Structure 1
Amino acid sequence: MAETVPKESLISSVLKGDHSSSSSSSSSSDSDTEDRNGGVKEIIKTKVFRLFGRERPVHHVLGGGQISDVLLWRNKKISGGVVGIATLIWLLFEVVEYHLLTLICHCLMSILSILFIWFKISSFVSKSSGEHFLEVSIPEDAVIRTAKALSNDINRALSVLRDIASGREFKKFVGVILGLWILSIIGSKFSFLTLFYIDFILLHTLPVLYEKYDDKVDVLAEKGMVEIKKVFVTLEAKFSSKIPKGNSKYKKHD
């Protein structure tokens, strides 16, 4: 005989099914709202002002290679060593007033002395003539790749300068002239080596600080860019109003 199911169990099962369906529908609606909110947040994030118009992390903007690792202090020992060597060179030339030619001669003397002693010890121990001792040669492919990279960078810089000088973009022209003027004033106050050392230290500190506090820096940079654009608009309006405009002598005929 078939077993009879009580009515109360049937009612409870129906109620549970309705509750599960309602909970599933509510969870699906919640997930939909979360997806919408997530999409809105992503859109808002993409519209946030970023310095230099970057859309990728700072490490990728700097190239994403070993140079980026050194600039962003991914390996503190290597970055600290590079900064330490640069500081030592600056101290030798600026503080101790060591001359470049003297330093080169002393370094070559030390290297030749060390190699001479090493060659004599190795020939005495192995009793070999040492004809193939320290054969050093520069591969041609590396030289060609370096020359091509330098030529491409130089040509790109010349094209940028040509575009700026042509007057197509007034903002870039004024910015370059202002930057060169400020750089000339700074160059008259410091020596070339000191200026190069300051730039080197800034290059190894500013990217790290920007990567750490990029949100705050981007907000301040956005405010500064707005003010700079206002100044450029007023300057462009003043200069364009002073340029005489002649009447066109030729008329268009249909």
Structure 2
Amino acid sequence: MSEKAENLLNSVAETLAERGSKHKSVSFFTEETSETVSAKFNRLFGRQKPVHHILGGGKSADVLLWRNKKISASVLTGATIIWVIFEWLNYNFLTILSMLLVLGMIFQFIWSNASGLLSRSSSKVPRVKLPKELFVNVAVSVGNEVNRALEFLQDVSCGGNLKQMIVVVLGLWVAAMLGSWCNFLTVLYIGFVVLHTFPVLYEKYDDQIDNFVYQVLEQFQNNYRKLDAGVLSKIPRGSFKIKKDE
């Protein structure tokens, strides 16, 4: 009976030791994975999804991320040509529109008369007609973006997050300063170039950009703590009390 009891105790001790070692290994693994997951999620603005998914995941995201370099380069080149025509060559929209309409009318006039003289039978001149769905889609897209921007600004103003409020106000102030330095077309072109180049650069160098941004934010926080400890905390604050009518 004593040998059986000793064997039983030894088996129980071995099972407890195995369970303890398994529990330690599992907890160590979960801690390691949680650290790696938190490190992966330590992205700019709390980003947890790929850049392509954040930009919508469609053809516009492919263009912004230069999935097809020919299309992306042609879009950027077209925007640059439009900016050069209106900004450097001092053409306005009405002048360009009138010149294009005149050239189109001259082309159609020559086509309709030359075809009758050469073949003695007037050929059908191609006519340009824009579909109604194009204007509807453009209006709906612009309206959705405007409503989304208004909703974001109202959420920031009513959310109670002071830091986010300060960041948005500073961004609008920078936009106002840019508007005072250059015209609206140049501001749109600068924004288009930034939107067309920053996402692909961030997708390629996201770790370096995230580390740089967090270092800058940490430096700002340290400077603010020093300012708060040295200056702001020493400013006397008056106590405002409301006197009750007796």
Is TM (by shorter chain) over 0.5?
Answer: yes
Give ranges in structure 1 of 5+ residues lacking alignment. Answer: 1-32, 250-254
Rounded Cα–Cα distance in structure 2 between residues aligned with 1:213 and 1:144: 38
Q: Compute the displacement of 1:55 (Å).
A: 1.5
Q: Compute the displacement of 1:135 (Å).
A: 6.5
**Equivalences, count:** 214
Q: In structure 1, which of residues 164, 167, 182 is the aligned counterpart of residue 174 of structure 2?
A: 182
| CA deviation map 1:149-188 (0-9, x unaligned) | 4434333322333344447222222222222222222222
Give TM-score, length-normalised by structure 2: 0.67
User: Is the CA contact 2:157–2:165 (under 8 Å) kept in the aligned structure 1?
Assistant: yes
Partner of 1:102: 95
Rounded Cα–Cα distance in structure 2 between residues aligned with 1:248 and 1:145: 60
Describe the shift of the 1:209–1:163 C-alpha distance in structure 2 as closer, same or farther (beyond 3 A). closer
Please tell me whether residue 162 in structure 1 is matched to residue 145 in structure 2: no
Aligned partner letter, 1:186 = L
Aligned partner letter, 1:52 = F
Please tell me whether residue 70 in structure 1 is matched to residue 63 in structure 2: yes
Describe the shift of the 1:135–1:80 C-alpha distance in structure 2 as closer, same or farther (beyond 3 A). closer
Q: Compute the displacement of 1:213 (Å).
A: 0.8
Q: In structure 1, which of residues 210, 218, 228 is the aligned counterpart of residue 210 of structure 2?
A: 218
Please tell me whether residue 81 in structure 1 is matched to residue 42 in structure 2: no
Give TM-score, length-normalised by structure 1: 0.65
Rounded Cα–Cα distance in structure 1 between residues aligned with 2:208 and 2:78: 32
Describe the shift of the 1:222–1:110 C-alpha distance in structure 2 as closer, same or farther (beyond 3 A). same
Rounded Cα–Cα distance in structure 2 between residues aligned with 1:126 and 1:205: 55
Partner of 2:43: 50
Partner of 1:208: 200
Partner of 1:21: none
| CA deviation map 1:81-100 (0-9, x unaligned) | 11111221222222222232
Give ranges in structure 2 of 5+ residues lacking alignment. Answer: 1-24
Aligned partner letter, 1:70 = V
Q: Compute the displacement of 1:44 (Å).
A: 0.8
Describe the shift of the 1:244–1:40 C-alpha distance in structure 2 as closer, same or farther (beyond 3 A). same
Partner of 2:85: 92
Describe the shift of the 1:146–1:99 C-alpha distance in structure 2 as closer, same or farther (beyond 3 A). closer
User: Is the CA contact 1:171–1:232 (under 8 Å) kept in the aligned structure 2?
Assistant: no
The 5-angstrom pairing of residues 233-244 of structure 1 reads none
Q: How many percent of aligned residue pairs carry the same amino acid? A: 38
| 3-state SS in 2 of match to 1:47 | helix
Rounded Cα–Cα distance in structure 1 between residues aligned with 2:72 and 2:174: 29
Partner of 1:27: none
Task: Work out which structure has the larger RCO, using CA pairs closer than 8 Å and 6 or more positions apart in sequence.
Answer: 1
Rounded Cα–Cα distance in structure 2 between residues aligned with 1:217 and 1:39: 27
Q: Compute the displacement of 1:70 (Å).
A: 1.3
Aligned partner letter, 1:80 = A
